[in-house]
A and B are shown apart, each in its own frame.
Chain A
Amino acid sequence: MKGVNLALGAAGLAAFLALGEAVPRLGLVKEAYFPPTSRIADALGDELADSAFWTALGDTLTGWALGLAIAVGAGIVAGVVISVVPHLREATASTIEFLRPIPSVALIPLAVLLYGTELRSVLLLVVYASFWQILIQVLYGVQDVDPVAEETARSYGLGTWARIRHVLWPTALPYVMTGVRLAAAVALILAITAELVIGAPGLGARIAVAQTSQAVPEMYALIVVAGLLGLLINVGARTVERRALAWHQSVRGEVAV
């Protein structure tokens, strides 16, 4: 069954690529704006041979990873503190609900004002967008603590810190993992957006340069790279999730007793 699905997936992708090759060649769309697959592939090959491309990729990944790490750290700490300190959740709920829907891109002018085209501009946007994904998941996850598990921990004399570490954290972990997966995707979107719009160095800035210099196939090649990056990040996040949650119902499945 898995083999069949894999074959179908490969066939679908091949058909899509063939369509991308055929449609411009048949003149259905203008080749200048929509180059055939083979030309995009050529441009991709050229990019891979260019050291400036790898620098740009490194810049994007740096912004992405650093921003995500800050957001995950801050989101987890803030989420746990808000949940553990009495009344803090109620007091912060309205503020969070107000701040959370603000689109991160709306902060681009602020980022430029504060940091210009530095990495810090990218970080500001990435952190703002990913932070809420993590925070919300942590807040939900912490609420999921089983009262029986909590009472068990208390009856065996586990203090606040030990209960956070041994009960609250493992309970929230599946939620945190979902948050990290979502945040990882959002962080990449924001990193590339920031580079594209602000001109901070990275893949986004390179896409903008390719566009203004009419290097259309190169532009597509860079977009493909961004897409592949997103794919890899998602696969990576899922693998980490599976490893960390081997004990969880969603991963372990049904066991024969």
Chain B
Amino acid sequence: MLDVRGLKKVYEGSGRRVEAVRDLTFTVGAGELVCLVGPSGCGKTTLLKCMGGLLAPTAGEVLLEGRQVTGPPPGMAFVFQEYGRSLFPWMRVGENVELPLKQKGLSKARRRDLVADALRSVGLADASSAYPWQLSGGMQQRVAIARALAYEPRVLLMDEPFAAVDAQTRADLEDLVRGLWRERGITILFVTHDIDEAVYLGERVVVLSASPTVVQEQLKVDLPPDRDQLHTRVAPRFAELRTHVYEQIQAAKRGVQLGGTPLEAAPMDAPPPLKDGLR
């Protein structure tokens, strides 16, 4: 569905050369929910923007259903961390959700159905005529998610969408995303710096190294598909997985590749070789 091959992104400007992403290769299968987790400043956002066609990679390529991504592809929707800036304050909630659909050239009736359906699925059926700034932070992010859903994407890219909301709202939104994923069968790539969130949400977790970024490890989350905040988070397997990811991230920060894996059958693929070893 989504292939990232040898992706490299170097920012150059005013005599400074920053290698944000060195060499990333991974795939996301159709209908999968993959969480990308890595130490802060590891180029997660850069990676996502390259995947969404918002940034041109320096080398390597991103393929969506076998076709190279050169600009924002029509089958892909983006949910940003900064919901307050991503929603347009001059438009009502309904108009915000509808705008991309107008751009798609859908009929008025179809647009109305999609907007109503998307707002209903995020629990904001009544908020259509409010302005985004009249809503709480969590509700605003729900609107942003509704806008993405109404767009009917095959792939949904989410860039630390819940980093700016409080813990309780966050738990609700996590369940919302998992619910929508199971209900609608969208492929979701969810970027987060929160290890618990990555393990709780994902079917698979891709651990990134510190910048310049490579894939540190890929891990299958073998928790049952029915997850809830109360029981899943206290399950022994959840603790094992999160400990494992935590260790990987710590290792990534130090710039080492952990050798033997403490988890039986957990890693999916052989970890890619880290070319420069200790730095």
**Chain A residues with a Cβ under 8 A of chain B:** 146, 148-149, 151-152, 154-159, 162, 166-167, 170, 173, 247-248, 252, 255, 257
Report 25 cross-chain contacts, Cβ distance below 8 Å, ordered by A residue.
Answer: A148-B86, A149-B86, A151-B54, A151-B80, A152-B80, A152-B86, A154-B54, A155-B52, A155-B76, A155-B78, A156-B72, A156-B99, A156-B103, A158-B99, A158-B100, A159-B103, A166-B88, A166-B99, A247-B89, A248-B89, A248-B90, A252-B133, A255-B133, A255-B134, A257-B134
Given A155-B52, A157-B103, A247-B131, 7 new contacts (CB under 8 A): A148-B86, A156-B78, A156-B100, A158-B103, A166-B88, A247-B89, A255-B133
Asked whether A149 lies within 8 Å of B54 as measured between CB atoms, the reply is no
Contacts of A257 in B (CB 8 A): 134-136
Question: Whose C-beta in chain A lies nearest to the C-beta of B135?
Answer: A257
Asked whether B88 lies within 8 Å of A157 as measured between CB atoms, the reply is no
What is the CA–CA distance of A157 and B74 in the complex, to the nearest angstrom? Answer: 7
Closest 3 CB pairs of A and B: A156-B100, A148-B85, A155-B78
Task: Tell me the smallest distance from the CB of A193 to a CB of chain B, in Å.
Answer: 37
Contacts of B54 in A (CB 8 A): 151, 154-155
What is the CA–CA distance of A156 and B75 in the complex, to the nearest angstrom? Answer: 9
Question: Whose C-beta in chain A lies nearest to the C-beta of B144?
Answer: A152
What is the CA–CA distance of A26 and B246 in the complex, to the nearest angstrom? Answer: 90
Contacts of A158 in B (CB 8 A): 99-100, 103
Query: Is B203 part of the contact surface with A, judged by Cβ < 8 Å?
Result: no
Task: Tell me the smallest distance from the CB of B97 to a CB of chain A, in Å.
Answer: 11
Q: A151-B80, A156-B100 are in contact. Are A146 and B85 (CB under 8 A)?
A: yes
Task: Tell me the smallest distance from the CB of B189 to a CB of chain A, in Å.
Answer: 13
Contacts of B80 in A (CB 8 A): 148, 151-152
What is the CA–CA distance of A247 and B72 in the complex, to the nearest angstrom? Answer: 29
Q: A149-B88, A166-B88, A170-B90 are in contact. Are A156 and B131 (CB under 8 A)?
A: no
Question: Whose C-beta in chain A lies nearest to the C-beta of B99?
Answer: A166
Asked whether A156 lies within 8 Å of B151 as measured between CB atoms, the reply is yes
Contacts of A167 in B (CB 8 A): 88
Task: Tell me the smallest distance from the CB of A182 to a CB of chain B, in Å.
Answer: 22
What is the CA–CA distance of A152 and B131 in the complex, to the nearest angstrom? Answer: 18
Asked whether B90 lies within 8 Å of A155 as measured between CB atoms, the reply is no
Question: Whose C-beta in chain A lies nearest to the C-beta of B132?
Answer: A247
Contact string, B146-158, partner A, CB cutoff 8 A, digits 1/0?
Answer: 0100010000000
Task: Tell me the smallest distance from the CB of A174 to a CB of chain B, in Å.
Answer: 10
What is the CA–CA distance of A157 and B82 in the complex, to the nearest angstrom? Answer: 19
What is the CA–CA distance of A173 and B133 in the complex, to the nearest angstrom? Answer: 18
Contacts of A154 in B (CB 8 A): 54, 72
Contacts of B85 in A (CB 8 A): 146, 148-149
Asked whether B134 lies within 8 Å of A162 as measured between CB atoms, the reply is no
What is the CA–CA distance of A219 and B90 in the complex, to the nearest angstrom? Answer: 47
Asked whether B88 lies within 8 Å of A155 as measured between CB atoms, the reply is no
Q: A149-B88, A155-B52, A255-B133 are in contact. Are A162 and B103 (CB under 8 A)?
A: yes
